[in-house]
Amino acid sequence: MIDLSGLWQFQMDPQGEGEAQGWFRALPAPRVIPVPCSWNDLFDDARTYLGLAWYRTEVWVPAGWRGRRVYLRIGSATYAAKVWVNGTLVMEHLGGSLPFAAEITERLAWDRPNIIAIAVENEPRPDRVPPGPAPGGGGVLGVAGGFPGTTYDFFPYTGLHRQVWLCAVPDVHIDDITAVTTIEDTDGIVSVTVAAAGDYAGEGQARLGGIEVDLAFRSGAAEATLRVPAARFWSPQDPHLYPLTVTLTDNQRVTDTYTLDIGIRTVAVRGDQLLLNGQPIKLTGFGKHEDFALSGRGLNLPMWIRDYELLRWIGANSYRTSHYPYPEEVMQLADRLGVLVINEIPAVGLNFAVPEPLTQQRLAQALTELRELIARDKNHPSTLMWSVANEPVARPPNGNEPQSQPQKQEAIEAGTQFFRRLYEEAYRLDGTRPVTLVGVGGGPREWHEPFDVVCINRYYGWYALGGQLDRAAQVLARDLDELHQVYGKPIIITEFGADTLPGVHADPPEMWSEEYQVEFLRRYLDVAAQRPFMAGMHVWAFADFKTTQGVGRAGGMNLKGVFTRDRRPKMAAHFLRSRWVGA
């Protein structure tokens, strides 16, 4: 493998003329950009630019790779990408948070540098997931009419956000591994399914610790089961990982091998309880964003190491990848450190009072993102459940159009079919984890019906009943009891919080003060603690983050973090630590 991260050439293409002019061979007026990174915080003229831009680099391919199959793999390109190698278009991709790859063996030069060019754009279009806003309309509370226009409350960072790799593999190689774990008494059972490229019909082995079983491939597929006596079950208290190694052999000669770390554990829902390894678990933690100054949404490993340290300090055992999948390194850290993750596709800002063809286009993209996410993260023990959407609504996209009751019911039914299809696909691809949808206050309750866990975002005391925390707690309690009475499922509040200006104080507590944030969180945690069906509480948000400019967002920031954007604790962080750790 060769990591192509580093300094690339970069040029914006606001007129969309680069492809016709052959910019995939040479950029006419390039400047330097780091990869991975977002471009918005680097260049003044690109601060709010979401249109087409080009990346270009050159790389020598090692002569020792001759005879192997070479792939180009892009970790993330937000949102739409086209990729050229030596002047030939080799792949296109939609969706800004997951990897994609193509074999480029036949396009390579071995006696000169190879030119790799990637064109990326993040135009806010209504047929995408997440969708762009309707003309003249805004989206969610706090960003209606914001700039740049979005249907979600975070900044639409754009660019190559994760590494670009060259990978060389043997002609016959391991293409995929699926490891499913179950528990029998004190033993761990690991069911392994291996796919090899082509119609491989040879032999192989699967090894877990000192346990080894043979693999007999037919048409490129093989299955095996390994039993681990007296296994250590993966959990936040003991995040033990077992190395699973798969090999392909030809007359006892190893032709390919791959190792991944797995955790033996089970996740289930029983009644109104969420179970980990057969025992009820309560989630403590946050909704987060992959957001930091200068790097934007680009992979920032120092930030992530600090974030995991702060999660441990504050007593959190979980978070949600709001509102898009996070980097693979981040999931690997969660595995090693014992952090549970609600893994979410980028289906945020969805509305269903739109023409049916538009809904079907969005469904096709959401299904693609769900399949890509499960394929990438199915083996991570930290992945607790899949989330297929955040805060979908049945109202018209601009929020101002009148809507009759029949129109509203039609939109609700469209959403019902949409989300049932996503649930069925998630369960088909991975029947070992719960699937959820995160609902917004005032959103259709019917959409929770097919899902295993009821996840909701609530802001009584902020967007509604602002400054009235006692009344807000009463309304929240009634809301939770009604949901439990209807569905009888575990409930998780996946967002609750109040914007807070660091250093602003008020006694008695008033909105925007640090004291108000503490009292807001206290009321919600108290209400949840009185209800055994509550499976978790995720504060919004872990840290302050950048969003669009608007009258509801001072400084273009969402300030609901219990840490500042540079990870300094507010009073609320110390309060949560006293609540979750007892310190």
pLDDT in tens, 371-388: 999 999 999 999 999 999
How much is the average pLDDT of 403-429?
A: 94
At residue 142, the pLDDT reads 41
- The CA distances from residue 414 to 193, 209, 351, 508, in Å, are 36, 49, 10, 46
397 pLDDT tier (thresholds 50, 70, 90): confident
Residue 534 counted as domain residue: no
CATH of the domain at 194: 2.60.40.10
Residue 54 shares a structural domain with residue 123? yes
Amino acid identity at 278 = G
* pLDDT reading at 258 higher than 90: yes
- In the set 495, 514, 515, 519, the catalytic residue is 495
Residue 346 shares a structural domain with residue 404? yes
Residue 345 counted as domain residue: yes
Residue 125 counted as domain residue: yes
Least confident of 104-108, 363-367, 440-444: 440-444
Residue 468 counted as domain residue: no
At residue 395, the pLDDT reads 87
Active site residue 495: yes
What is the DSSP track for 496-544? ----B-TT---SS--TBSHHHHHHHHHHHHHHHHT-TTEEEEEEE-SB-
At residue 398, the pLDDT reads 67
pTM, two decimals, is 0.95
Residue 158 shares a structural domain with residue 185? no
146-200 per-position pLDDT tens digit = 889 899 999 999 999 999 999 999 999 999 999 999 999 999 999 999 999 988 9
Share of the chain above pLDDT 90, in %: 91
Residue 136 shares a structural domain with residue 205? no
* pLDDT reading at 470 higher than 50: yes
Tell which of 436, 457, 478 closes a domain.
457
At residue 251, the pLDDT reads 81
Residue 576 counted as domain residue: no
Residue 251 shares a structural domain with residue 194? yes
Residue 346 shares a structural domain with residue 398? yes
- In the set 121, 391, 425, 519, the catalytic residue is 391
* pLDDT reading at 135 higher than 80: no
Q: Residues 573-578: contacts with CB within 8 Å, 24+ apart?
A: 573/310, 573/314, 575/518, 575/521, 575/522, 576/314, 576/315, 576/316, 576/521, 576/539, 577/313, 577/314, 577/315
Tell which of 169, 195, 211 closes a domain.
169
* pLDDT reading at 246 higher than 50: yes
Task: State whether the Cα torsion 152-129-94-344 is positive or negative.
Answer: positive
Residue 274 counted as domain residue: no
CATH of the domain at 422: 3.20.20.80
Residue 134 shares a structural domain with residue 256? no
Active site residue 121: no
CATH of the domain at 55: 2.60.120.260
How much is the average pLDDT of 20-44?
A: 98
Mean pLDDT of the chain: 95
Domain that holds residue 219: 174-262
Residue 113 shares a structural domain with residue 196? no
Task: State whether the Cα torsion 550-157-389-349 is positive or negative.
Answer: positive
At residue 138, the pLDDT reads 52
At residue 400, the pLDDT reads 64
Q: How far apart are CA 203 and CA 200, in angstroms?
A: 9
* pLDDT reading at 144 higher than 50: no
- The CA distances from residue 404 to 353, 358, 407, 415, in Å, are 11, 20, 5, 17
How much is the average pLDDT of 201-219?
A: 93
Q: How far apart are CA 12 and CA 49, in angstroms?
A: 9
Residue 180 shares a structural domain with residue 160? no
At residue 401, the pLDDT reads 67
Residue 62 counted as domain residue: yes
* pLDDT reading at 137 higher than 80: no
Residue 160 shares a structural domain with residue 183? no
* pLDDT reading at 136 higher than 60: no
Tell which of 442, 457, 472 closes a domain.
457
Give the phi and the psi of residue 221 in degrees, each rounded to 5.
Answer: -135, 145
At residue 399, the pLDDT reads 63
Structural domains in the chain (count): 3
> Which one has a higher pLDDT value, 135 or 493?
493
Q: How far apart are CA 115 and CA 30, in angstroms?
A: 14
At residue 143, the pLDDT reads 44
What is the DSSP track for 318-378? EEE-TTSPPPHHHHHHHHHHT-EEEEE-S-BS-B-SS-HHHHHHHHHHHHHHHHHHHHHHT
Q: What is the torsion angle, in degrees rounded to the nearest 10, for the CA atoms of residue 81, residue 86, residue 88 and residue 90?
A: -50
Helices 356-377 + 405-429 axis angle, to 10: 20
Contacts for 296 with CB less than 8 Å, ≥ 6 apart: 37, 38, 39, 40, 41, 155, 157, 159, 161, 546
Residue 154 shares a structural domain with residue 258? no
Residue 491 counted as domain residue: no
Residue 362 shares a structural domain with residue 383? yes
* pLDDT reading at 424 higher than 50: yes
Q: How many CB atoms lie within 10 A of CB 29?
A: 7
- The CA distances from residue 11 to 23, 27, 133, 261, 548, in Å, are 9, 7, 26, 40, 24
551 pLDDT tier (thresholds 50, 70, 90): confident
